[in-house]
């Protein structure tokens, strides 16, 4: 069924795309499993390692210093998206659909990264100098901002690893960077170093990340580009700008949490909010890993087999709902104990409020990539821009009165109203098929029952209560059929079918 919605991106200069799956590896099933498992395990390890050192930072310097560091990181994430600006998604898609042009595409991507790195650092300098931050924040931000030069190279290898289904290499390289970050911040804490020293530790971690990625990706590396296909570069930017602008709005929306909270509240509130936000990363990274591993497969399915596309997309949403439910139960029930690790137990309400935000963000992370696969970039720009406006309006209304809780409620309202729901509606129109929500409904019931037991037994707020609630939740998920081995078998069957389609094509 054709929804009638079309987006004309034009033909790439290198020729028409291949709609079959001949370019996919014969061991696709193993590649998908390996990438998903490796990314999930590595990113959980990375998040846990970072979390440990951030606890040390908060305990050593207090919430205010951590708020300053988190504000700088928020600005750097914004600059890193300027570096990406959607080109990675476009070039990965093209390398999957035009594998014979992979080297040419990588050379063009490398040249673009150099230009974007210069632009990103210039924007960072303007932001730091124009917003009236204290001298210590400006200096630390400018020092830490030099990492954009390194991150431009990291993005190059990220595209390479993603296109070759070797994303476990990126996870390993990133872990090398995290080890350096932990060591650097540990030294800063022991010596009671400055905010600038913390920025230098972050730059050192990017150095390790880049060189590890270079070592792991050198067998695919195409070298320094000697010639530039300007038509390919222009076409890439023209095609990527909807994704780039959309992503910029999304990242800006996330950065606004810290920026507006600092402007409308204080730096200590930023530290509390940022500390609570750290607990979301493990679950969000699992969803990011699953979504990233499925993206090349969905991109190939869209042209060749719409039935398998819908099937795989539905399975991704179902498993995301299950993980989201697990995350919500653990974070909400153990909120007091978790924030106590930062010596911020009195601010556990921040984590309970953010549990709702994390749930919406995780669902969006799984839903959104399909919007680009099906060609709905133009809608994403509208959604993300509306999200920024809605968040600003809500923050200016709620933050002065409720502080970090107002920031959390603003983030939840913007995420649901301007990202999750509109994206689902558009993707369903393109697919000509409605997403089924039976698993999600069962998950909601399981969450309510598990949390109800924790309240009834007066265990809410403790690690023991979280463990009991998690066991109950998992048991109910299997008992109700929300989680079952059949989900895995369906996903494996879909991937195997795709392999057979590629072999027969």
Average pLDDT value for residue range 211-228 = 70
Q: Residues 6 or more apart from 355 whose CB is under 8 A from it?
A: 327, 328, 331, 332, 335
Instruction: Determine the pLDDT at residue 504.
Output: 44
Instruction: Determine the pLDDT at residue 413.
Output: 94
Band (164; pLDDT cuts 50, 70, 90): confident
**Pick from 130-139, 232-241, 461-470: least confident:** 232-241
Are residues 449 and 21 in contact, defined by beta-carbon separation less than 8 angstroms?
no
Instruction: Determine the pLDDT at residue 441.
Output: 92
For the segment 23-39, what is each residue's pLDDT rounded down to a tens digit? Answer: 444 455 555 555 566 66
- Please list the alpha-helical segments (H only) found in 218-341: 230-264, 267-277, 281-304, 306-333, 335-340
Band (7; pLDDT cuts 50, 70, 90): very low
Tokens 């060609």 belong to 375
For the segment 113-132, what is each residue's pLDDT rounded down to a tens digit? Answer: 888 888 899 999 999 988 88
Band (505; pLDDT cuts 50, 70, 90): very low
For the segment 51-65, what is each residue's pLDDT rounded down to a tens digit? Answer: 888 889 999 998 899
Instruction: Determine the pLDDT at residue 3.
Output: 38
pLDDT over 90 for what percent of the chain? Answer: 33
How far, in Å, CA of 98 to CA of 19, rounded?
A: 9
In sign, the C-alpha dihedral spanning 19, 288, 493, 436 is negative
Query: Is pLDDT larger for residue 81 or for residue 246?
Result: 81
Q: Identify which of 180, 20, 203, 183 has the alpha carbon closest to the alpha carbon of residue 97.
A: 20
Instruction: Determine the pLDDT at residue 139.
Output: 94
The yes-or-no verdict on residue 233 having pLDDT over 80 is no
Instruction: Determine the pLDDT at residue 33.
Output: 58
Query: Is pLDDT larger for residue 421 or for residue 26?
Result: 421
Domain boundaries, the chain: 23-228
- Please list the alpha-helical segments (H only) found in 192-229: 195-217
Query: Is pLDDT larger for residue 370 or for residue 468?
Result: 468
What's the whole-model pTM score? 0.75
How far, in Å, CA of 97 to CA of 92, rounded?
A: 9
How far, in Å, CA of 16 to CA of 449, rounded?
A: 53
**421-431 vs 348-367: helix crossing angle, rounded to 10:** 20
**Pick from 18-22, 123-127, 136-140: least confident:** 18-22
Average pLDDT value for residue range 145-172 = 83
Q: Residues 6 or more apart from 420 whose CB is under 8 A from it?
A: 360, 363, 364, 367
Task: Tell me the two tokens of residue 435.
Answer: 């997403």
The yes-or-no verdict on residue 199 having pLDDT over 90 is yes
How far, in Å, CA of 42 to CA of 174, rounded?
A: 9
Instruction: Determine the pLDDT at residue 380.
Output: 77
Instruction: Determine the pLDDT at residue 467.
Output: 94
Band (393; pLDDT cuts 50, 70, 90): very high
Query: Is pLDDT larger for residue 71 or for residue 164?
Result: 71
Q: Residues 6 or more apart from 401 whose CB is under 8 A from it?
A: none
How far, in Å, CA of 89 to CA of 253, rounded?
A: 20
Instruction: Determine the pLDDT at residue 503.
Output: 43
Mean pLDDT, all residues of the chain: 81
The yes-or-no verdict on residue 5 having pLDDT over 50 is no
Query: Is pLDDT larger for residue 82 or for residue 91?
Result: 82
The yes-or-no verdict on residue 477 having pLDDT over 70 is yes
Instruction: Determine the pLDDT at residue 21.
Output: 43
């Amino acid at each position: 069924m054709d929804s009638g919605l079309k987006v004309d991106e034009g033909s790439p200069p290198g020729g028409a795309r291949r709609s079959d799956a001949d370019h996919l590896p014969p061991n696709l099933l193993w590649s998908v499993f390996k990438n998903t498992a490796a990314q999930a395990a590595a990113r959980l390890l990375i998040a846990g390692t970072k979390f440990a050192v951030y606890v040390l930072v908060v305990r050593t310097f207090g919430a205010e210093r951590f708020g300053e560091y988190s504000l700088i990181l928020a600005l750097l994430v914004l600059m890193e998206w300027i570096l990406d600006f959607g080109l990675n998604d476009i070039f990965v898609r093209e390398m999957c659909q035009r594998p014979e042009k992979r080297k040419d595409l990588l050379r063009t991507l490398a040249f673009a990264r150099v230009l974007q790195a210069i632009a990103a650092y210039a924007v960072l300098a303007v932001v730091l100098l124009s917003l009236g931050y204290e001298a210590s924040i400006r200096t630390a931000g400018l020092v830490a901002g030099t990492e954009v030069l390194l991150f431009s190279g990291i993005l190059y290898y990220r595209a390479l690893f993603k296109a070759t289904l070797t994303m476990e290499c990126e996870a390993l390289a990133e872990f090398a960077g995290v080890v350096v970050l932990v060591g650097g911040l540990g030294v800063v804490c022991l010596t009671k170093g400055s905010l600038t020293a913390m920025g230098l530790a972050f730059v050192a971690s990017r150095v390790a990340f880049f060189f590890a990625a270079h070592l792991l990706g050198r067998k695919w590396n195409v070298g320094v580009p000697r010639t530039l296909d300007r038509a390919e570069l222009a076409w890439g930017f023209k095609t990527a700008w909807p994704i780039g602008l959309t992503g910029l709005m999304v990242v800006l929306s996330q950065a606004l949490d810290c920026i507006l909270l600092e402007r409308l509240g204080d730096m200590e509130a930023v530290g509390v909010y940022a500390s609570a936000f750290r607990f979301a990363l493990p679950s969000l990274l699992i969803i990011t890993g699953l979504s990233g591993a499925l993206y090349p497969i969905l991109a190939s399915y869209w042209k060749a087999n719409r039935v398998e596309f819908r099937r795989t997309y539905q399975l991704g949403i179902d498993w995301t709902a299950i993980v989201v439910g697990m995350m919500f139960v653990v974070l909400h029930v153990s909120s007091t104990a978790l924030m106590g690790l930062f010596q911020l137990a009195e601010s556990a309400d921040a984590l309970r409020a953010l549990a709702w935000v994390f749930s919406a963000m995780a669902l969006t992370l799984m839903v959104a990539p399909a919007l680009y696969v099906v060609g709905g970039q133009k809608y994403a720009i509208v959604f993300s821009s509306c999200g920024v406006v809605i968040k600003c309006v809500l923050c200016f209304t709620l933050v002065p009165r409720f502080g970090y809780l107002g920031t959390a409620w603003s983030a939840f309202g913007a995420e649901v109203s301007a990202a999750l729901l509109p994206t689902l509606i558009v993707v369903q129109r393109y697919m000509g098929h409605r997403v089924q929500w039976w698993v999600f409904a069962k998950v909601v019931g399981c969450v309510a029952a598990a949390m109800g037991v924790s309240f009834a037994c007066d265990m809410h707020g403790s690690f023991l209560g979280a463990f009991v609630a998690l066991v109950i939740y998992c048991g109910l998920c299997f008992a109700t059929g929300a989680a079952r081995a059949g989900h895995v078998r369906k996903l494996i069957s879909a991937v195997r079918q795709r392999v057979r389609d590629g072999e027969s094509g």
